[in-house]
Amino acid sequence: MPRAKHAPIRLPLLVLALVALALQLSGWLDRLDHRLGDLQLRWHAAGREPPADIVVVAIDQKSLEDLNDIAGTWPWPRAIHGELLDGLARWRPKAVVFDILFNEADAFRPDSDAVLREIAASMDNLYFASMRLSAGRTAPLAALPPSFGAEAGPDADPEAGATLLMPLVLEPKNWQGGLINFEADSDGIGRHARLFQPVAGWRLPGLAAAVARGSGTPLPELERVRMNWYGRPPRTISYADLLHDLGTDAPVLAPTLRDNIILVGATASGLHDMRPTPLAGLTPGVYVLTTAIANLRGGDWLRDLPVRWPLLLALLAGLGMAFHRRVSPVRCGLTLTAASLAALAASQLALDQHLYAPVGAALSLAWLGFGLLTVESQWLERREREATVGLFGRFLDPRVVDSLVRSGELDRERKPETREISVLFSDIRGFTTLSENRSPEAVVDLLNRYFSRQVEVIFRHGGTLDKFIGDAIMAFWNAPTEAPGHARQAVAAALEMTQVLDGFRRELQALDPGLGEFDIGIGIHSGPAVVGFLGSEARMEYTAIGDTVNLASRIEGSTKGVARVLVSAATKLACEAAGGRFVFVHRGQFRVKGRERPVDLYEPQREPAAY
């Protein structure tokens, strides 16, 4: 039965859907998007420069060592920060932001706290960090000073509270600022900046959002934004260097900070303010804060573009159609590679437009689908090859069939076609008499032994066995594969069949003298015939039909009393054109059924030199 024109793809796609659902529920699809997206963000960040007017005053290892004699070990007396602010006030920075918590009073140095409090109270461009904790004693949000910037929504609970670390060392008027809680995704990496945290209808500002809004930037109506990273840190000055510079009569660093946003934060690894980001496993927290402020001020944070499922469906639609139409897996793989590269390029270019279009999960699932479809295709191809070998093994030498199927020369989908072939009919003479004197079992055994030897000869000469018709054999050459010298091969097979018969008769005669009396007649004709699978859906056979077949059968019927083998003039000419080493003896003209004119028949014999 011919194979289906289209390959089934439902099972691989069903398996893929189940795998995709499991990966989605487990969070692995997000991880795949994150991994590839982080790599793309690093490439994109390499071409981005941080704003020049955002400067980090770093509490680095150098500062810890240089100030050890006057400030001692960390944490320093807060008067040190007051001294820094007092020196900076002269140069009028746009804002000074402390990424440091001042939530607990210094019980051993209260005067130092007072110095910072007094200096901070005289300035209105300061921002201080606060933090929300997951557990602890809560404070009523309604009691927060207006300077903090907490906003009560229309549905805000007036009794709501939260556990907050606020800058209690300072006057409430200096609580301007916001939360510095690290915003980490499910894999622990920080990719977003939170503008505010919702609490029972209240909105608690993030420090980056408060600084951006204080600089005159309108904020988006979003809880958080995806950060658009920079290839190198912002301008960074060592805390100790700036403090010493401010204490000189002719400062060099301080004048460069006019109208800048200054962030004071820790970069020394020993102060444990390192955060995992797409840029690195350990990024100073103050650099995360500067990135968020810069993105909000510039309006160039990344907007999420949900392309996972549309991209996956588009890729799977193409793959499904290709495999359904039996396109080569190699071509499918090359096409999917090109589509994957195009998706990656488009995703990378989208970053220039401030769009984040993650493609890692979609491409991973598409390649998984390709693998499943390829396995299904290979299994189907193997099954069909085995079926084809089994089918054509009835007509051709199985070793030849296997080779032809592997090379793709045999195709069960090939429609019947008209071809030039040479048809051979062989019939046993005296078979009826032979059958009358023997049991059916003995007759069948005799036929099977005879057919096995004769079919082996046909296969050896490249013939195709069409069918057994009682005690007759029908075979043809030049189908299903091309055989340029098909007439010569058919004649050579016929002559060898007579030799094999003689040997078979001698064996039988030694067992039973009556078995050595039967003979055969063979007729061959070359001409056009329709060759292919014919029949119904329930039963199909590979056969040849047409006048050429009929004439070959009639020629076989004319051999009795004339010669064992007779061929038509067409076969004689085709054999001579192919260089067959035969002598053709003209046996006269014969009238055959279905022909108005008599046909010339010839007995082929091997040339003497061929013996």
Rounded Cα–Cα distance for residues 425 and 381 (Å) = 35
Rounded Cα–Cα distance for residues 159 and 199 (Å) = 11
User: What integer pLDDT is reported at residue 581 of this predicted model?
Assistant: 85
For 425, list phi and psi in degrees, rounded to 5.
-115, 135
- Shared domain check, 133 and 59: yes
- Shared domain check, 473 and 526: yes
- pLDDT, tens digit, for every residue of 557-590? 999 989 999 999 999 999 999 887 899 999 999 9
Contact present, 468 and 431 (Cβ < 8 Å): no
User: What integer pLDDT is reported at residue 2 of this predicted model?
Assistant: 41
Rounded Cα–Cα distance for residues 498 and 495 (Å) = 5
Name the pLDDT band for 4 (thresholds 50, 70, 90). very low
User: What integer pLDDT is reported at residue 11 of this predicted model?
Assistant: 85
- Shared domain check, 317 and 297: no
Rounded Cα–Cα distance for residues 501 and 429 (Å) = 12
Rounded Cα–Cα distance for residues 167 and 105 (Å) = 9
User: What integer pLDDT is reported at residue 335 of this predicted model?
Assistant: 94
- Is the pLDDT at 535 greater than 80, yes or no? no
Rounded Cα–Cα distance for residues 26 and 361 (Å) = 13
User: What integer pLDDT is reported at residue 570 of this predicted model?
Assistant: 96
Q: Say if 34 falls within a structural domain.
A: no
Alpha-helical runs (H) found in 263-415: 285-298, 308-324, 329-352, 360-392, 398-407
User: What integer pLDDT is reported at residue 610 of this predicted model?
Assistant: 45
Please state whether the peptide bond connecting residue 480 to the residue before it is cis, i.e. omega within 30 degrees of 0: yes
- Shared domain check, 412 and 322: no
- pLDDT, tens digit, for every residue of 374-418? 888 878 777 766 666 665 665 555 655 665 566 555 555 667 899
Exposed (0-12), middle (13-18) or buried (19+): which is 29, by Cβ within 10 Å? buried
User: What integer pLDDT is reported at residue 548 of this predicted model?
Assistant: 95
Sign of CA dihedral 409, 410, 415, 418: positive
Contact present, 87 and 140 (Cβ < 8 Å): no
User: What integer pLDDT is reported at residue 488 of this predicted model?
Assistant: 95
Cβ burial 221-251 (10 Å sphere, 16+ → b, else e): eeebbbbbbbeebbbbbbbbbbbebbeeeeb
CA-to-CA separations, 159 to 201, 202, 226, 389, in angstroms, rounded: 11, 11, 32, 82
Domain end, chosen from 301, 317, 339, is at 301
User: What integer pLDDT is reported at residue 414 of this predicted model?
Assistant: 66
Q: Is the pTM of this model over 0.85?
A: no
User: What integer pLDDT is reported at residue 179 of this predicted model?
Assistant: 97
Contact present, 554 and 523 (Cβ < 8 Å): yes
Name the pLDDT band for 86 (thresholds 50, 70, 90). very high
Q: Say if 445 falls within a structural domain.
A: yes
Q: Say if 387 falls within a structural domain.
A: no
Partners of 348 in the β-ladder: none
Partners of 526 in the β-ladder: 422
How high is the mean pLDDT of the chain? 89
- Is the pLDDT at 446 greater than 90, yes or no? no
- pLDDT, tens digit, for every residue of 131-142? 999 988 898 999
Rounded Cα–Cα distance for residues 274 and 288 (Å) = 10
Could you please report the per-residue DSSP string of 32-61?
HHHHHHHHHHHHHHTT-PPPTTEEEEEE-H
Contact present, 372 and 320 (Cβ < 8 Å): no
Q: What is the C-alpha R_g of the chain? A: 46
Q: Say if 401 falls within a structural domain.
A: no
CA atoms lying within 13 Å on the CB side of residue 233: 18
Give the domain CATH number at 451: 3.30.70.1230
- Is the pLDDT at 611 greater than 50, yes or no? no
Name the pLDDT band for 594 (thresholds 50, 70, 90). confident
Q: Say if 5 falls within a structural domain.
A: no
Cβ burial 98-119 (10 Å sphere, 16+ → b, else e): bbbbbeeebeeeeebbebbbeb
Least confident of 9-23, 264-278, 355-369, 387-401: 387-401
Rounded Cα–Cα distance for residues 99 and 110 (Å) = 21
- Is the pLDDT at 114 greater than 70, yes or no? yes
Q: Are strands 196-199 and 192-194 parallel, antiparallel or unpaired?
A: unpaired
Q: Say if 394 falls within a structural domain.
A: no
Q: Say if 172 falls within a structural domain.
A: yes
- pLDDT, tens digit, for every residue of 25-61? 999 999 999 999 999 999 999 999 999 999 999 999 9
* 149: helix, strand or coil: coil
Q: CB within 8 A of 557, min separation 6: which ones? A: 427, 521, 523, 592
- Shared domain check, 285 and 350: no
User: What integer pLDDT is reported at residue 379 of this predicted model?
Assistant: 82
Share of the chain above pLDDT 90, in %: 71
- Is the pLDDT at 430 greater than 80, yes or no? no
Rounded Cα–Cα distance for residues 27 and 14 (Å) = 20
- Tell me the average pLDDT across 66-82: 94
| Domain range enclosing 127 | 49-301
User: What integer pLDDT is reported at residue 1 of this predicted model?
Assistant: 38
Shortest CA distance to 138 belongs to which of 160, 159, 163, 157? 163
Other C-beta atoms closer than 10 Å to the C-beta of 533 total 17
- Shared domain check, 283 and 223: yes
Split into its structural domains, the chain has a count of: 3
Domain end, chosen from 301, 324, 346, is at 301
CA-to-CA separations, 276 to 34, 137, 537, 588, in angstroms, rounded: 13, 29, 66, 100
User: What integer pLDDT is reported at residue 387 of this predicted model?
Assistant: 66
- Shared domain check, 141 and 87: yes
- Tell me the average pLDDT across 148-173: 94
Contact present, 3 and 389 (Cβ < 8 Å): no
- Shared domain check, 425 and 570: yes
- pLDDT, tens digit, for every residue of 313-366? 999 999 888 888 888 888 999 999 999 999 999 999 999 999 999 999 999 999
Name the pLDDT band for 93 (thresholds 50, 70, 90). very high
Enter the tokens of residue 437.
């004197």
Please state whether the peptide bond connecting residue 75 to the residue before it is cis, i.e. omega within 30 degrees of 0: yes
Enter the tokens of residue 47.
């071409």
- Tell me the average pLDDT across 284-290: 97
Rounded Cα–Cα distance for residues 206 and 190 (Å) = 15
Shortest CA distance to 84 belongs to which of 46, 53, 110, 58? 58
CA-to-CA separations, 439 to 104, 389, 431, 472, 508, in angstroms, rounded: 115, 35, 13, 20, 16
User: What integer pLDDT is reported at residue 398 of this predicted model?
Assistant: 61
Rounded Cα–Cα distance for residues 81 and 287 (Å) = 20
Q: Say if 175 falls within a structural domain.
A: yes
Partners of 529 in the β-ladder: 419
- pLDDT, tens digit, for every residue of 537-556? 666 778 899 999 999 999 99
User: What integer pLDDT is reported at residue 514 of this predicted model?
Assistant: 63
- Shared domain check, 113 and 223: yes
Rounded Cα–Cα distance for residues 444 and 453 (Å) = 14
CA-to-CA separations, 302 to 50, 194, 294, 344, 351, in angstroms, rounded: 15, 13, 12, 17, 7
User: What integer pLDDT is reported at residue 415 of this predicted model?
Assistant: 79
Contact present, 270 and 284 (Cβ < 8 Å): no
Assign 3-state DSSP to the chain and report helix, strand, coil percentages, each to 5: 45, 20, 35
- Shared domain check, 218 and 345: no
Other C-beta atoms closer than 10 Å to the C-beta of 532 total 20
Q: Report the range out of 280-294, 376-390, 596-610 with the highest average pLDDT.
A: 280-294
- Tell me the average pLDDT across 116-136: 95
For 604, list phi and psi in degrees, rounded to 5.
-80, 140
- Shared domain check, 449 and 375: no
Return the C-alpha torsion angle 318, 319, 324, 327, nearest 10. 100
- Is the pLDDT at 95 greater than 70, yes or no? yes
- Shared domain check, 319 and 185: no
- Is the pLDDT at 177 greater than 60, yes or no? yes
Q: What is the DSSP letter of 411?
A: -
Partners of 477 in the β-ladder: 422
Domain end, chosen from 256, 285, 301, is at 301
For 568, list phi and psi in degrees, rounded to 5.
-80, 170
- Is the pLDDT at 3 greater than 90, yes or no? no
Of 228 and 328, which is predicted with more confidence?
228
